[in-house]
Structure 1
Amino acid sequence: MITTILTKVLLPLSLGIIMLGMGMTLVPKDFTRITKYPKAVFIGIVNQLIFLPIIGFSLAIAFDLDATMAIGLMILAAAPGGPTSNLITQICKGNIALSVTLTAIVSFATILTIPVILSSALAYFGSGTDVIIQLPILDIVLQILVIVIIPIIIGMLIRRAKPAFAIRMEKPMRTASTVIFILIFIAIVAAKWKFLGDAMKQVGLVTLVLNIATMALGYFTARLFKLNLKDSISITVESGIQNGTLAIVIATTVLNNLDMAIPIVAYSIWMFVTGSILMLYFGKRKDSAIK
């Protein structure tokens, strides 16, 4: 009951409020700038849709995971970034518009890519099932609209109507976002405490390596193509912070296998830990230092 309230009510509500605050820091030109310089969007999309599943598959082989754990890891690698990535990007002073754009585009794209990737994983690792992957498409679309897109649009409208108020609220909202992030992390650990020990014992190391590898991929590819630090932060976070809620839905509802959620639980903890480290490092920097 408590877990249901957390994941279905409090978490989406908290993230929606945070997205509203993010919207108050954005103006339309933040998004039009992305369309004029699409390199960052392209790099982020390629990383998430192509390289992340390759890394996940390679680690499943390298760590010799059994079929259930391997498929759970592939669910993670195939999942898009979630609203939490937008929150972490904001606190890290990354490019919020880029982060939101990548979350939206990749989330819609994975409606097509997840069935292909997971069907291939099921066939390769031999789950012994002929299940057809059918994602809750309407739920995915509603999640993106209600938690991300609509609150950000409302925030941008507030910024346009009351610019002084929006600018004044930027620092308090960032502080509130940090506090909410900490509370969400504590709540998730508490809600998943029963599974945490088993998850870390079985796949703690491989999920940590996956998380670090995907974030490193995001950062180094961004810097390799000479993106600025704001864009690099966004791509790093989007590459390593996955939509854990969607991943758990796929494992437990679509594939009807609770054990496949074990890697997702472990990864959820790691991504909050590494996300916290990024926030501590980049969040304390002066805005002028984030070029």
Structure 2
Amino acid sequence: MDSGLVTVLVPIVLAVIMFGLGMSLTVGDFRRVREYPRVVVAALGCQLIVLPAVCFGLVLAFGLDAAPAVGMMLLAASPGGTMANLYSHLFGGDVALNITLTAINSVLAVFTLPLVVNLAVGYWDGAGDDGSVGLQFGKTLQVFALVLIPVAVGMVVRARRPGFAERAERPVKVLCLFILAGVIVAALLAERANVGEYLAEVGPVALLFSVISLGTGYVAARLAGAAHAQGVAACMEIGMHNTSLALTIALSPSLLDSTEIAVPSAVYAILIYFTAGAAGLLLRRVGERGAGTQTSRRISPRTR
């Protein structure tokens, strides 16, 4: 899929998204890990180890072809996206924890994502449109530049112009959402002749993976001793992967350059808004029920 859309627009979309993320971060967000170390370790362990392993098992169980299989592993290795912060806010999550996890996870993904992708490419030999994809050292540096440089620039803007950063945060998110939707549509249109087959093949895997990711984040955080609000934050952060990053890596001619590998991320990007919304509504009811139980215990009459 060698076109101006992919060569120019997709990297710009990711840069704008990561710049917007940077404008929401401060140095203190990286230090906040000391406030809830067990939750952070549990969440990052799920993101970096558990979910790639789960995704690998799902891909094998469903018998995906090479390119979609690599695409699913790329998705699994991608960190949480900026939409996780919004969903966490909407459903009563600890947004500060979301920001901390996003900050740390985005840095770690620069190193872990190429590792997972290369292992997947090695396992499914010949994946991709040209039969020879992978993220060598030079391409890993490109991932570094795509992710960390815009974030660093955004953090500098936040530090020097906090008022501008606060005013620009929402418009940037809305702009990114619309542009990302356009990229997803373009990726699916590029494979329109095969989109029905891809949806039938990848859709069930992507749907199941999204549900497992969301559930894993919440359960892992609660097992680590987190309160409900922190569990909601981990649910969204671990469950809502950065599809813009995955799409950029899959579609960019200087990286993987494969529309087939991009299809799972495009399908997942559509499904996750529904599964994350359903998870948020369910967790809101869980939180209300827990709060109601605690209140009833405090006001219950003393037995005689």
Is TM (by shorter chain) over 0.5?
Answer: yes
Q: Residue 214 of structure 1: CA displacement?
A: 0.9
Aligned residue for 1:65? Answer: 64
Consecutive unaligned residues in structure 2, runs of 5 or more: 292-304
**1:87-166 alignment to 2 at 5 Å?**
88-89=87-88, 94=95, 95-110=97-112, 113-115=115-117, 117-119=119-121, 121-122=123-124, 133-134=135-136, 136-159=139-162
Q: For residues 133 and 144 of structure 2, what CA distance do their matches in structure 1 show?
A: 23
What does residue 206 of structure 2 align with? 207
Measured at CA, do residues 193 and 259 of structure 1 come closer, stay the same or move farther in structure 2, by a change above 3 Å? closer
> What SS does the aligned partner of 2:124 have?
helix
The residue that corresponds to 1:265 in the other structure is: 266
Q: 2:218·2:232 contact (CA, 8 Å) conserved in 1?
A: yes
What's the TM-score, normalizing by structure 1? Answer: 0.72
Letter in 2 for 1:243: N
| Partner AA of 1:266 in structure 2 | V
- Following superposition, the deviation at residue 179 of structure 1 comes to 3.7
Identity %, equivalent residues: 25
Q: Distance in 2 between matches of 1:277 and 1:15?
A: 26
Change (3 A) 1:261 1:181: closer
Letter in 1 for 2:68: M
Give the greater-gyration-radius structure (CA): 2
Q: Which residue of 1 aligns with 2:187?
A: 192
Q: RMSD between aligned alpha carbons?
A: 4.0
TM-superposed deviation, 1:53: 1.2
Offset at 1:224?
1.7
Contact 2:187 2:259 in 1 (8 A): no
Alignment: residue pair count: 273
SS of alignment partner, residue 79 of structure 2: coil
Aligned residue for 1:62, secondary structure, equals: helix
C-alpha contact (below 8 Å) 1:83/1:148 kept by paired residues = no
* Partner Cα distance (2:256, 2:5) in 1: 24
**Alignment map for 1:25-44 (pairs within 5 Å):** 28=28, 30-44=29-43
CA shift digits 1:216-245 (9 cap, x unpaired): 111111112221344323322232222334
Relative to structure 1, the CA distance from residue 64 to residue 134 in structure 2 (aligned partners, 3 Å threshold; closer, same or farther) is: same
Letter in 1 for 2:270: I
Report the 3-state secondary structure (helix = DSSP H, G, I; strand = E; otherwise coil) of the residue aligned with 1:192.
Answer: helix
Q: Which amino acid aligns with 2:186?
A: A
Q: CA deviation at 1:10?
A: 4.5
Corresponding residue for residue 224 of structure 1? 223
Closer, same or farther in 2 for the Cα pair 1:151/1:96, shift >3 Å?
farther
Q: Write the distance in 2 (CA, Å) between the matches of 1:152 and 1:230.
A: 26
Structure 1 unaligned blocks of 5 or more: none
